Amino acid sequence: MVPARRPFVGGNWKMNTLRASAVELAQAIRRACDAPLPAPGGATEGAARCANGPERAEVVLFPPVPYLRDVAGVLAGSAIGVGAQDLSAEERGAFTGQVSAEMIRDSGGEWVIIGHSERRHGAGESDELCGRKLTRALGSELRTIFCVGETWEERSAGKAHEVNRRQLEAGFREVGAERLGEVVVAYEPVWAIGTGKTASASDAQEAHRSIREWLANRYDLRSASGVRILYGGSVNAANAAALFSEEDIDGGLIGGASLKAADFLAIVAACGATAKVER
Ligand code: PGA
């Protein structure tokens, strides 16, 4: 039997919420996800498509690190995962302001985002540093969303695929095929993040296909077809379904629209029904 790629939706809260609003948002999402899946056509159909079961999307929330423990507490015992938005490439020591993989785990985090454009471009992180972070995360039993994406200038110069592949090359340098199941890739064109400009579903699909092709060349076809590749960049309740119905788009990494429970749940619902069968 061929396994399906389970749809995945990550909520990246970035530097938003305070303790009370973080807890409230997590509670609202948990409530909806814990509810039983309604019958087709039911009033709340889809809103609950994020608990256990292959027919539902896997959901992971990424609150600010100071609230990781609180949000993990709210989600304990549910099927919703929780993680940090970044980690240090170092294990421990004199690294002021940095947060280690062990601290994330100790605060209840199971996941981490690496290589987000707000780290690569906003904080000047190199491809090489993102690769070291990925190695650190996997070595510390943290599952990872590894982000890649080109700027508008790079896309206009016809270099989108080249840039994405360069970021993958450096990122996965030390990752063996046996660890691939712990990594989700996110394609996030820099020009689409927080701008309201979304890549068209077909442009996004083309980028995702190219990423899967890279994975197949670097590893093998079977491993590559099991890796979930998310789209990120101005996904909202209105455009989610079209994006997620593309063959190689297995879900989304959601920024702005993850801060309102209803919007986020509508995206989860759109994603829930789109499991892709391995080819
Ligand atoms: P956005 O952010 O949905 O607000 O564009 C996506 C992301 O940065 O992951």
Strand-pairing partners, residue 187, are: 148, 231
Instruction: Enter the DSSP assignment of 181.
Output: G
Mean pLDDT computed over 133-148? 98
Atom of ligand 1 nearest to the CA of 117: 8
| The two three-digit tokens of residue 210, written as one number | 């190219």
Cα(220) to ligand 1 centroid in Å equals 30
Catalytic residue, chosen from 58, 150, 154, 188, is: 188
Residue recorded with tokens 């999307």: 57
**Residue 34, pLDDT score:** 77
Contacts of 69 (CB under 8 A, 6+ apart): 107, 108
pLDDT digits (tens, 9 = 90+) for 229-266: 999 999 999 999 999 999 999 999 999 999 999 999 99
**Residue 32, pLDDT score:** 87
**Cα(195)–Cα(193) distance, integer angstroms:** 5
**Residue 279, pLDDT score:** 47
Please give the single-letter amino acid code of residue 201. A
User: pLDDT: is 80 or 274 the higher one?
Assistant: 80
Mean pLDDT of the chain: 91
Cα(204) to ligand 1 centroid in Å equals 15
Cα(248) to ligand 1 centroid in Å equals 19
- Is 188 considered catalytic here? yes
Instruction: Enter the DSSP assignment of 194.
Output: T
Whether 188 has a pLDDT exceeding 70, the answer reads yes
**Residue 47, pLDDT score:** 47
What angle do the packed helices 160-171 and 201-218 form, to 10 degrees?
40
CA-closest candidate to residue 206, choices 258, 257, 153, 150: 150
The pLDDT-based confidence of 278 (bands split at 50, 70, 90) is low
User: pLDDT: is 276 or 240 the higher one?
Assistant: 240
Q: What percent of the chain has pLDDT over 70?
A: 91
Burial of 216 per CB tally in 10 Å (0-12, 13-18, 19+) = middle
Pocket test for ligand 1, best of 8, 9, 12, 191 (most atoms within 8 A of CB): 12
Mean pLDDT computed over 212-232? 97
**Cα(99)–Cα(102) distance, integer angstroms:** 8
CA 273 to centroid of chain Cα atoms: 18
pLDDT digits (tens, 9 = 90+) for 34-53: 776 556 655 554 444 454 44
Q: Is the dihedral of CA 161, 163, 164, 167 positive or negative?
A: positive
Atom of ligand 1 nearest to the CA of 195: 5
- Is 116 considered catalytic here? yes
Nearest residue CA, atom 7 of ligand 1? 255
Cα(234) to ligand 1 centroid in Å equals 6
* 3-state secondary structure (DSSP) of residue 226: helix
CA-closest candidate to residue 183, choices 123, 121, 225, 134: 134
**Cα(243)–Cα(200) distance, integer angstroms:** 8
pLDDT digits (tens, 9 = 90+) for 2-36: 458 999 999 999 999 999 999 999 999 999 887 76
CA-closest candidate to residue 87, choices 107, 70, 104, 106: 104
Mean pLDDT computed over 206-235? 97
What b-and-e string marks burial along 32-43, b requiring 16 or more CB atoms within 10 Å of the CB? bbeeebeeeeee
Mean pLDDT computed over 161-165? 97
Catalytic residue, chosen from 58, 116, 125, 246, is: 116
What angle do the packed helices 160-171 and 127-139 form, to 10 degrees?
40
Cα(41) to ligand 1 centroid in Å equals 30
Whether 272 has a pLDDT exceeding 90, the answer reads no
Q: What percent of the chain has pLDDT over 90?
A: 82
Mean pLDDT computed over 151-164? 95
Q: Which residues line ligand 1 (CB under 6 A)?
A: 12, 188, 193-194, 232-235, 253-257
**Residue 7, pLDDT score:** 93
Mean pLDDT computed over 72-77? 96
Per DSSP, helices labelled H in the chain are 19-34, 68-75, 101-106, 117-120, 127-139, 152-156, 160-171, 201-218, 221-226, 240-244, 261-272
**Residue 29, pLDDT score:** 93
